[in-house]
Amino acid sequence: MNKNKTERIKFFLEKYKSNLEACTICPHQCGIDRNKALGRCKEPYLPRISSFNLHLGEEPPLSGEKGSGTIFFAGCNMNCCYCQNFPISQLRKANTEHSIEELADNMITLQRRGAHNINFVTPSHYLYQIVSALDRAYQKGLSIPLVYNTSGYDRADVIRDMEGILDIYLPDIKYVTPELSKKYSGVENYFEYDSAVLKEMYRQTEGRLVLDENGIAQKGLIIRHLVLPNNVDNSIGALKWIKENLSNQVFIGIMSQYFPAYRVSEKYLPEINEPLSLKDYEIVLDYAESLGFENAWFQE
Ligand code: SF4
């Protein structure tokens, strides 16, 4: 195992060991013992996992030909009313509690099955447990890159302490205003945290995406943005912020797959109670092109 990674993992586990009894790992900073009570994420200490499998639907440098080794964690520290992943993150269906040892074993299993990477999906509320499992997984021979696939609602200071442990950052930029993040996701300070996290991830990776000779990502940053129906201004604001605060050379995924899910209809939000129109999506793609984004993936 990479000596630097071992040292970084030990440093992280020591620095954040209070999370074993008082979880403050994400922006909510509940300060509760997750073995005895539930915080905002409503998830206990031991990680609950919906599935772990090879996934071919990520960006090409992540999925490659063999697949990205996704581990889907139950729950979330946000509460998006349109969550596209709601059976796992909000309804918490079909989730099984795993020990730290079992989480490490899942990573090894995915590596043996040929995964190009280990892709932690919705990991923010289980970050301390993930690092604990990595300590074990590296002793068992884990060697493929690690992908941190997050909403971006993380603590930038915690992400700074993950430097040298995680390899590929895959954060969202969902909203750029507190009004919208409060209205749709129940967290007013989303962009305050997300923008700081994106800057920190950019600093660590220099905004690059390093590929191997087969075009598979080894290190770097890909920022994702899901375009919401009738919210073109939000998408324009997100792209503008990336260009002005990071770079227009950063790799971005502009996603069109939105469908009205979870609680959209019961919350009476007619503007997002329909699929994304081709017209809205094209406006956003045209704007990205006008800003000079060259490393962008979009969906047909
Ligand atoms: S991970 Fe959960 S318990 Fe911990 S601070 Fe965040 S919301 Fe609270």
One digit per residue, the tens of pLDDT, for the chain of length 300 reads 566 899 999 999 999 999 999 999 999 999 999 999 999 999 999 999 998 999 999 999 999 999 999 999 999 999 999 998 877 787 777 678 999 999 999 999 999 999 999 999 999 999 999 999 999 999 999 999 999 999 999 999 999 999 999 999 999 999 999 999 999 999 999 999 999 999 999 999 999 999 999 999 999 999 999 999 999 999 999 999 999 999 999 999 999 999 998 888 877 899 999 999 999 999 999 999 999 999 999 987
Q: What is the dihedral of CA 187, 243, 150, 169, to 10 degrees?
A: -150
Ligand 1, residues 23, 34, 90, 128: which to mutate, most atoms within 8 A of Cβ? 23
Tell me the residue range of the domain where 57 lies.
Answer: 3-298
The CB of 24 under 6 Å from ligand 1? The reply is yes
Contact (CB, 8 A) for 165 and 146: yes
Residue pair 107/101 in contact (Cβ under 8 Å)? The answer is: no
Task: Of 202, 287, 290, give the one whose Cα is nearest residue 250.
Answer: 202
Q: Which two tokens stand for residue 134?
A: 């990595």
Using DSSP, state whether 97 is helix, strand or coil.
Answer: strand
> How many domains is the chain built from?
1
- We report the CATH number of the domain holding residue 294 as 3.20.20.70
Interval between CA 289 and ligand 1 midpoint (Å): 38
| Residue 199: per-residue pLDDT | 98
Q: Is 83 in the pocket of ligand 1 (CB under 6 A)?
A: no
For 219, other C-beta atoms within 10 Å of its C-beta total: 17
Three-state secondary-structure class, residue 170:
strand
In 88-177, DSSP assigns E strands to 96-97, 118-121, 146-150, 168-171
Lookup: tokens for 189: 């300070």
Please identify, by atom number, the ligand 1 atom nearest to the C-alpha of residue 77. Answer: 7
What radius of gyration, in Å, describes the C-alpha atoms of the chain?
A: 18
Residue nearest to atom 4 of ligand 1 (CA): 23
Statement: the pTM of the whole predicted model exceeds 0.85: yes
Q: In the prediction, which pLDDT does 1 show?
A: 55
What is the position in ligand 1's atom list of the atom closest to the CA of 42?
2
Longest CA span, the chain: 53
23 lines ligand 1 (CB under 6 A): yes
Distance 27 CA to ligand 1 centre (A): 8
Give the Cα separation of 173 and 254 in Å (integer). 10
**Cα 268 to Cα 282: distance, rounded to the nearest angstrom:** 26
29 lines ligand 1 (CB under 6 A): yes
